[in-house]
Amino acid sequence: MTNPVRCRRARLSSRAMDPSTAAIAELIAAMTPFDDLEQQHLEQTLDWLAETTDIYRRIPPATPSPHLVAYVVLVDPTERGIYLGLHRKSGLHLPMGGHLERGEYPFDAARREAREELGVAPSFDVVGHRPLFLTMTPTVDLTAGHGGVSLWFVARGDRTGHYDLDPGEFDGGRWWDLDPHGLPDSDPHVGRFIRKLDTILQPTTVR
């Protein structure tokens, strides 16, 4: 049976990239897709990285499109909670996160965004320091839309705790059940993210 990770790494070996882009491509090539859609997004992202070094947002709100985004999804795996903030620009209940700065490694961006938007430095010990999930999604705010390649990192939270979100970005936040059903209007892939996370947290549970 063909190993998809080995195949993606073989494709990368023949492509010339600058060091920053190559490091991100190697990170993404090592990811294991949850389903056919994530497999498609991984392949499309690697093809995009092979074609350009213009992968970081240069001009707000959307240039270039697409560009790299790091999500920091705060979860309480014991009490089965996911923390979402009401994002002012999109009107959606979203995880914390934002655009990578030029030359920034994705995990460094995730830690920075956690500090800026949550006001804390959470532990990333639920699944580790690598992204769990990747999506390619049009990011829509109240005035315009643009493309984002989002790397989803998992941070540990406490469902009994309160987080003072950046008021410039969020109109408050709250805990929701860590269940793909019954969530508020959010990123269209958050349900798939929870299902993938549960392959680690509850590997014998079928959702």
Cβ–Cβ under 8 Å, residues 44 and 78: no
Please write the tens of the pLDDT for every residue from 131-153.
999 999 875 554 444 568 999 99
Cα distance between residue 83 and residue 193, in whole Å: 13
With a cut of 50, say whether residue 35 has pLDDT above it: yes
Cα distance between residue 163 and residue 174, in whole Å: 9
With a cut of 50, say whether residue 14 has pLDDT above it: no
Q: What is the pLDDT of residue 5?
A: 52
Which helix (H) or strand (E) segment holds residue 153: the answer is: strand 145-156
CATH fit for domain 67-201, picks 3.90.79.10, 3.90.650.10, 3.40.50.300, 3.30.930.10? 3.90.79.10
The residues spanned by each domain of the chain are 4-51, 67-201
Q: What is the pLDDT of residue 91?
A: 94
